[in-house]
């Protein structure tokens, strides 16, 4: 931690926050997230104490994935080049960011994009992910007071030029009401699906188990529904999903599993289970915690035709996102398919963005 802060301090010793230095700061944040220091361990333990879904090992995994896929210097330089990020920022622009809190560090991509442009980020934390996000801010702000010009945590998002908000369909209506006069991106409920053909190897099914069960299935990139050919043999998949049988020792997950299993039994529904997850035939793509929905298909094209892409974050399977990669998005895997970088790029020329509320 001290080494990371020292490097960050050296990086912003002078008042010039050119693109090269902004990239350096972000890459050094990646160094922090990929270094298992005692201080970082303690932060993850505190986050777990506040939110039992945030296992310390899951916060570690999420941070490492972000560090590798989003905070490498070469990746950031390529992104800046692709979107013609200016060398000198327009620090007068403030972006209000509403963080979600379903999985660890889920709002960090928005912060990365805003700081890459040199915009000021005003963050409204999720109560479910306050500790981890505050730690990110502290790593940067404690490095040098200048960083206070770029990152602010606030209960109220006032005086911003534009807004990025992520939440449920219900909260999205609230965001639309309050932010509709200003440039904004408002994200709603999304989930992910997988399309199987029945010839998947044991290794591929093992990776699919991660797509389904990592972070307890709480992420929008978690697979909550699978499409399988008629006559599909579910036994290999059920066996692959056994790698998460330790979830039975997690009180919150076990309560959900017991409830879903009981409902299936009471309603006399056909179900399959391996004592850690319940599989039900259901056309609804959003499945509850501890449950996985499935549907049969005759041909793959029919699956694609019936998918509601407004509800689909990503598709896993042959020809789509590889098995096991759903939870490792890159810098240009934009949430809801809305290009955050393109949105931020246009703000400096947007007359609506020139006047803060």
Domains and CATH numbers, the chain: 2-189+331-354 (3.40.605.10), 191-310 (3.40.309.10)
> What is the DSSP code string of 10-32?
HHTSSS---HHHHHHHHHHHHHH
Which tokens hold the place of 247? 């979830």
Is 296 within 8 Å of 232 (Cβ atoms)?
yes
pLDDT computed for residue 236 by the predictor: 97
Number of alpha carbons in the 13 Å side-chain half-sphere of residue 150? 29
Token digits for 357? 């509320």
Q: At which residue do the structure tokens 């947007």 appear?
A: 350
Cα–Cα distances in Å, from 330 out to 84, 98, 160, 197? Answer: 18, 20, 27, 26
CA angle 327, 110, 60 (to 5 degrees): 40
Q: pLDDT tens-digit profile of 30-52? A: 999 999 999 999 999 999 999 99
pLDDT tens profile 114-147: 999 999 999 999 989 999 999 999 988 776 677 7
Q: Are strands 223-229 and 191-195 parallel, antiparallel or unpaired?
A: parallel
Instruction: Give dist(CA 288, CA 276) in Å, integer.
Output: 13
Q: Coil, helix or strand for 141?
A: helix
Query: Model's pTM, two decimal places?
Result: 0.90
Q: Is the dihedral of CA 94, 75, 83, 63 positive or negative?
A: negative
pLDDT computed for residue 350 by the predictor: 60
Q: Are 227 and 295 in contact (CB under 8 A)?
A: yes
Residue 6: the pLDDT is 52
Distance CA 259, CA 281 (A): 17
pLDDT lower than 50: segments of the chain: 5, 8-15, 351-354, 356-357
- How do residues 254-264 score in pLDDT, each as one tens digit? 999 999 999 99
The reported pLDDT for the residue numbered 1 is 55
Token representation of residue 293: 């929905």
Average pLDDT, the chain: 91
């Amino acid at each position: 931690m001290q080494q990371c802060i020292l490097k960050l301090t050296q990086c912003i010793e002078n008042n010039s926050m050119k693109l090269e230095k902004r990239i350096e700061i972000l890459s050094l944040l990646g160094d922090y997230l990929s270094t298992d220091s005692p201080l970082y361990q303690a932060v993850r333990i505190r986050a777990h104490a506040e939110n039992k879904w945030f296992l310390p090992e899951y916060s570690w995994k999420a941070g490492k994935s972000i560090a590798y896929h989003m905070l490498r210097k070469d990746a950031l330089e390529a992104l800046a080049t692709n979107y013609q990020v200016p060398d000198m920022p327009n620090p007068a622009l403030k972006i209000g960011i509403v963080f979600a809190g379903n999985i660890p560090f889920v709002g960090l991509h928005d912060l990365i994009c805003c700081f890459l442009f040199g915009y000021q980020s005003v963050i409204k934390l999720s109560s479910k992910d306050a500790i981890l996000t505050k730690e990110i801010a502290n790593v940067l702000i404690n490095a040098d007071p200048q960083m206070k010009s770029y990152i602010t945590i606030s209960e109220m998002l006032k005086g911003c030029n534009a807004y990025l908000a992520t939440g449920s369909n219900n909260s999205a209506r609230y965001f639309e009401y309050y932010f509709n006069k200003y440039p904004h991106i408002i994200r709603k409920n999304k989930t992910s699906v997988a399309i199987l053909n029945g010839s998947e190897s044991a290794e591929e099914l093992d990776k699919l188990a991660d797509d389904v069960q990592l972070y307890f299935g709480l992420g929008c990139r978690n697979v909550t529904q699978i499409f399988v050919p008629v006559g599909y043999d579910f036994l290999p998949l059920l066996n692959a999903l056994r790698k998460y049988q330790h979830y039975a020792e997690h009180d919150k997950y076990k309560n959900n599993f017991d409830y879903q299993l009981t409902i299936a039994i009471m309603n006399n529904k056909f179900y399959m289970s391996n004592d850690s997850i319940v599989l039900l035939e259901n056309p609804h793509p959003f499945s509850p915690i501890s449950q996985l929905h499935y549907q049969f298909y005759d041909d793959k094209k029919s699956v694609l035709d019936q998918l509601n892409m407004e509800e689909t974050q990503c598709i896993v399977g042959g020809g789509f996102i590889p098995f096991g990669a759903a939870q490792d998005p890159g810098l240009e895997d934009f949430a809801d398919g809305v290009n955050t970088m393109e949105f931020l790029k246009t703000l400096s020329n947007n007359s609506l963005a020139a006047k803060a509320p």
